[in-house]
Amino acid sequence: MKTKTLALLLTGGVFALPLTTVAKTVKVDIPVVEKELAVDNAGTMQAMWTFGGTIPGPLVRVKQGDVVDFTLTNLKSNKQSHSMDFHAARVDVLDEFAPVSPGQSKDFQFRADYPGVFIYHCGAEAMSEHIARGMYGVIIVDPKEGYSEDYPKPDREYVIVQGDLFKDGTTPNDITQNVGKAANLINGKIFHYDPVHDQNASLALESKPGERVRFYFVNAQINDSVAFHPIAGIWDRVWDNGNPKNVSYGMQTYDVAPAHAVTLDLISPGDRPTNNALVDHQMKNAQTGAITVLMNHSEADPESGRGSNLIIRE
Ligand SMILES: [Cu+2]
């Protein structure tokens, strides 16, 4: 099921914004859908809970200073209460982030004051189970200044979200303790973009040699941090939390805490085709699904990593 969940509404003068930006309200409607989803490239189905029917949920992208006008709809056909916790928001956990029963919906607004990349996730009880079953997504808040020498325009952009997969039927208490963890999901599937380790994988990320490729990486695992490393490459720059002011240069492995996110640029050699394997260097996670192949070659699909193709799906 594909639903168009994002729409832009222009408003004028409602909120006090800097003169240099256009006052904009971004309407975001996301339904919660409890459904069976394929969790690997072979099509193995498992009962998951989702924002918008996919793991991760729809990518939300706004500019710093924009107001997000959000509506969460918990479908009547669902069995659980759910909620929305936007890490890009400053609100009241007991109000805006409160659970919503099946058949109900909830609206709230927040202004995206800080630039960067943030996770959003369900916070309903037991939170660990709701996140582990797939209730997470990404909001990118582009800096109001736009691109600069310190935050250059990339040639391509990809969103990668790493999550847990627990054995079907694992109890909420076991999930909380990480007992019963079976694999790692990258954008909802084990070895999603890794045809080297999974013969059923049909997708990989692509760029042309020498391009600046930007990754918005989100750790949606409930307990494990991620040691994010580009095998056969070096992160040219890393912006912690995606904020242009938090820059590090020439990094090999970047530690990403649970429910944290970073922005990382990779530039491959410009004079020949190469490949990178983007891994969680905690091997228990890499070898159970957390490897992504980036192919750097002159035939790279011009649409991949551009426009609305930041989360690559079939
Ligand atoms: Cu939930």
User: How does residue 6 score in pLDDT terms, banded at 50, 70 and 90?
Assistant: very low
Q: Does 87 show up as a binding residue in the annotation? A: yes
Cis peptide before 56 (omega within 30 of 0): yes
What gap in Å lies between CA 251 and CA 206, rounded to an integer? 21
Share of the chain above pLDDT 70, in %: 93
Cα 48 to ligand 1 centroid, rounded to whole Å: 10
pLDDT score, position 20: 54
Residue 310 covered by a domain: no
* 125 in any annotated domain: yes
Q: Are residues 246 and 179 in the same domain?
A: yes
* 44 CA from centroid of ligand 1 (Å): 22
What tens digit of pLDDT does each residue of 204-218 get? Answer: 999 999 999 999 999
Average pLDDT, the chain: 94
Domain count, the chain: 2
Q: What is the pLDDT of residues 175-226, one digit of tens each?
A: 999 999 999 999 999 999 999 999 999 999 999 999 999 999 999 999 999 9
Q: For residue 224, is it within any domain?
A: yes
Residue that has been written with the tokens 């960067």 in this structure: 116
Helix (H) or strand (E) holding 248, with range, is: strand 247-251
| Residue-level pLDDT at 158 | 98
| Annotated binding-site residue? 229 | no
CA of 172 from ligand 1 middle (Å) equals: 13
Picking from 93, 117, 142, the residue at the C-terminal end of a domain is 142
Domain encompassing residue 253:
156-296
**Based on the domain organization, do 161 and 134 belong to the same domain?**
no
pLDDT score of 258 more than 70? yes
Domain holding 93: CATH number? 2.60.40.420
- What is the distance in angstroms between the CA of the first residue and the CA of the last residue of the chain? 13
- Tell me the C-alpha distance between 216 and 278, whole Å: 12
Q: Tokens 């228990």 belong to which residue?
A: 284
pLDDT > 90: what percent of the chain?
A: 92
Angstrom distance (rounded) from CA 109 to CA 68: 5
Distance (Å) from CA 200 to ligand 1 centroid: 30
Specify whether 183 is located in the same domain as 59: no
Write down the pLDDT at residue 3.
40
Answer yes or no: is 252 within a domain. Answer: yes
Residue 313 lies in a domain: no
What sign has the CA pseudo-torsion 305, 310, 312, 314? negative
Taking the centre of ligand 1 as the mean of its atom positions, its distance from the CA of residue 223, in whole angstroms, is 17
Query: Do residues 54 and 80 share a domain?
Result: yes
pLDDT at 225: 98
Residue 197 assigned as binding residue: no
CA 183 – ligand 1 centroid, Å? 21
Q: Side-chain half-sphere of 219: how many Cα atoms within 13 Å?
A: 22
202 shares its domain with 122: no
Continuous H helices in 47-117: none
Domain endpoint, select from 87, 118, 142: 142
Examine the domain organization and report whether 91 and 122 are in the same domain. yes
Task: Find the 123 Cα to ligand 1 centroid distance in Å.
Answer: 6
Chain segment 17-45, per-residue pLDDT in tens: 444 556 599 999 999 999 999 999 999 99
Q: 270 with 210: CB under 8 angstroms? A: yes
Kindly state the DSSP code that residue 167 receives in the 8-state scheme: P
pLDDT exceeds cutoff 80 at 119: yes
- Residue 301 CA to ligand 1 center (angstroms) comes to 36
Residues 242 and 274 in one domain: yes
What's the gap in Å between 210 CA and the centre of ligand 1? 41
277-304 pLDDT tens trace: 999 999 999 999 999 999 999 999 999 9
CA of 105 to the centre of ligand 1 (A): 13
Span 54-78, average pLDDT: 98
260 is in an annotated binding site: no
From the CA atom positions of the chain, what is the Rg in Å? 19
Res. 12: pLDDT tops 90: no
What is the structure's pLDDT at 245? 97
Q: Tell me whether strands 212-219 and 156-166 are parallel, antiparallel or unpaired.
A: parallel
Predicted confidence band of residue 14 (pLDDT cuts 50, 70, 90): very low
Identity of the amino acid at 72: L
pLDDT at 10 over 90: no
119: CA distance to ligand 1 center in Å?
Answer: 14
Cα–Cα distance, 222 to 36 (Å, whole number): 21
Same-domain status, 131 and 161: no
- Around ion ligand 1, residues with a beta carbon closer than 5 Å are 82, 122, 124, 130, 135
Report how far apart, in Å, the C-alpha atoms of 33 and of each of 37, 248, 263, 266, 313 are: 11, 39, 29, 35, 18
**What distances in angstroms separate CA 117 from CA 11, 28, 203, 247, 266, one per listed residue?**
24, 17, 24, 14, 17
User: 50 CA distance to ligand 1 centroid (A)?
Assistant: 8
Question: Residue 23's pLDDT is what?
Answer: 59
CB 165 within 8 A of CB 39: yes
Q: Assess whether 133 and 194 both reside in one domain.
A: no
Measured in Å, residue 193 CA sits from the centre of ligand 1 at 27
105 and 203: one domain? no
Ligand-binding annotation for 297, yes or no, is: no
Asked whether residue 68 is domain-assigned, the answer is yes
**pTM, full prediction:** 0.93
Residues 199, 134 within the same domain: no
Residues 13 and 101 reside in one and the same domain: yes
In a domain, 149, yes or no: no
Q: Is residue 303 one of the residues assigned to a domain?
A: no
Measure the CA–CA gap between 123 and 93, rounded to whole angstroms.
Answer: 9
Backbone angles phi, psi at 146, to 5 degrees: 75, -155
Q: What is the pLDDT of residue 314?
A: 82
The answer on whether 281 is annotated among ligand-binding residues is yes
